[in-house]
């Protein structure tokens, strides 16, 4: 099984967020080839960042049209190192995110999370979109496992696991 991350379907935003990673357009072509060749696959739309990629409707529709059966998603978690990069790459966005993380956010271990209601809303949106296109949804590391329609890692797409589950 493969899990492939596509943070956004916008090549320009991706270049800013992930300057050394393949463009989303190339990743989407890879998804198409993998699905066409029957490779068990889950796509991670991760991390979801408010004001950046929090409206993945077109991306999810595209993935569904290609035959993706499972989406996993979670939100951006702030650590000092990644916050420094985010602030440098997208200073206006960082200013808008600052109160969400540093004033209203939740600390878990070494990370700052978005407020619970914000995370819940974002994951509900993605789950709803996945369900609209008959895809399974999972979220990991959010404390929202009750939202999962399948195991968050997408391992259910592995054929031997699928047949074992169906034979129970």
Q: pLDDT by residue for the chain (168 residues), tens digit each?
A: 899 999 999 999 999 999 999 999 999 999 999 999 999 999 999 999 999 999 999 999 999 999 999 999 999 999 999 999 999 999 999 999 999 999 999 999 899 999 999 999 999 999 999 999 999 999 988 889 999 999 988 988 988 754 444 444
With tokens 């999972």, the residue in question is 138
**All structural domains of the chain:** 2-76+114-166 (3.80.30.10)
Other Cβ atoms closer than 10 A to 131: 12
User: Taking the complete model, does pTM exceed 0.75, yes or no?
Assistant: yes
The 3-class SS string of 57-74 reads HHHHHHHHHHCCCEEEEE
């Amino acid at each position: 099984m493969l899990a492939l991350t596509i943070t956004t379907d916008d090549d320009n935003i991706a270049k800013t967020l992930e300057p050394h990673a393949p463009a989303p357009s190339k990743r989407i072509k890879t998804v198409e080839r993998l699905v066409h060749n029957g490779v068990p696959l889950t796509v991670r739309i991760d991390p979801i960042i408010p004001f950046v990629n929090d409206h993945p409707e077109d991306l999810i529709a595209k993935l569904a049209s290609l035959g993706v059966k499972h989406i996993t998603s979670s939100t951006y978690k702030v650590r000092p190192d990644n916050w420094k990069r985010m602030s440098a790459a997208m200073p206006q966005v960082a200013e808008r995110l600052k109160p969400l993380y540093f004033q209203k956010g939740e600390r878990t271990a070494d990370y700052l999370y978005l407020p619970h209601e914000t995370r819940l809303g974002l994951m509900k949106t993605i789950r709803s979109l996945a369900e609209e296109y008959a895809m399974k949804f999972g979220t990991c590391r959010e404390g929202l496992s009750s939202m999962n329609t399948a195991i968050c890692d997408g391992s259910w797409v592995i054929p031997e696991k699928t047949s074992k589950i169906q034979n129970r």
